[in-house]
Amino acid sequence: AQTVTQSQPEMSVQEAETVTLSCTYDTSENNYYLFWYKQPPSRQMILVIRQEAYKQQNATENRFSVNFQKAAKSFSLKISDSQLGDTAMYFCAFKGANAGKSTFGDGTTLTVKP
Amino acid sequence: KAGVTQTPRYLIKTRGQQVTLSCSPISGHRSVSWYQQTPGQGLQFLFEYFSETQRNKGNFPGRFSGRQFSNSRSEMNVSTLELGDSALYLCASSLGRVGPETQYFGPGTRLLVL
């Protein structure tokens, strides 16, 4: 079974600064996707970024980028130029061959301070 | 394309009652998965439906059931409600291919059991 661990329950960052959220996972599969989802207080789960395990290049989406270390089973999210709207809970998720099921970490609550 | 929609958004029930939640996936998506989100347990996978058939199931009691219609819309039913069923219920849709793929989430249904 897969497990996803987010070791930082809460983090804060000043507006315009950079913050990195950590995630580690465990799996015996070789073909999988990893995701970071954002869940603001409104509760809508929004996809932030996706990484395919077979790709060596780290995914980037505007201010969001990941550091994917496949051998170490590590998948961190870097948010650059943090904005107040980035305040949310962030979930790291694993999606392998197991149909329809994503495995989520416990989440990291990020607060961006003005 | 319109996103995943869920109805109702909020629901209050009493113990012993039953409830039905609805989820309409993104157009063209044939897989619908359901998750329960609680502060104590995080996000837990309930089940997944694909082409009107349950393809995967999480570790929940038989009081939790679902179905999918020919237009890929899905319903989830919880019978004999317990206080511990109070949660945010999220559905997610995807194309339904075998192997890793991205799930897109709806806004959720907040269920409160009194």
Contact A108, A77 (CB under 8 A): no
Q: Which of A89, A109, A81 lies closest to A14, judged by CA?
A: A81
B40 vs A: CB within 8 A: no
- Mean pLDDT value across chain B: 94
Q: Which of A18, A39, A30 lies closest to A104, judged by CA?
A: A39
CA distance B90 to B16: 22
Q: What is the dihedral of CA B78, B79, B83, B86, to 10 degrees?
A: 10
Mean pLDDT calculated for residue range B2-16: 96
CA distance B84 to B113: 8
Sign of CA dihedral B2, B4, B5, B10: negative
Residues A20-31 pLDDT 10s: 999 999 999 888
Mean pLDDT calculated for residue range A37-52: 90
Q: What is the pLDDT of residue B100?
A: 82
A101–B99 C-beta distance less than 8 A? no
Q: Is the pLDDT of residue A44 over 90?
A: no
Q: Which candidate from B31, B47, B56 shows the least CB-CB separation from A98?
A: B56
Mean pLDDT calculated for residue range A87-92: 97
**For residue A53, which residues of chain B lie inside 8 Å, CB to CB?**
100
Q: Is the previous residue joined to B8 through a cis bond, with omega within 30 degrees of 0?
A: yes
Q: How far is A56 from chain B (nearest CA, A)?
A: 17
A97–B102 C-beta distance less than 8 A? no
**For residue B56, which residues of chain A lie inside 8 Å, CB to CB?**
98-101
Q: What is the pLDDT of residue A66?
A: 98
Residue A1: band (very low, low, confident or very high) from pLDDT cuts 50, 70, 90: confident
Sole residue written with tokens 């063209």: B28
Q: Which candidate from B47, B55, B101 shows the least CB-CB separation from A95?
A: B101
Mean pLDDT calculated for residue range A55-76: 96
B43–A101 C-beta distance less than 8 A? no
CA distance A39 to A45: 5
- In the DSSP assignment, the letter for residue A55 is -
A100–B31 C-beta distance less than 8 A? yes
Residue B35: band (very low, low, confident or very high) from pLDDT cuts 50, 70, 90: very high
Mean pLDDT calculated for residue range A24-48: 91
Q: Which residue does chain B place closest to A41, by CA atoms? A: B107
Q: What is the pLDDT of residue A2?
A: 85
Mean pLDDT calculated for residue range B47-64: 94
Mean pLDDT calculated for residue range B2-15: 95
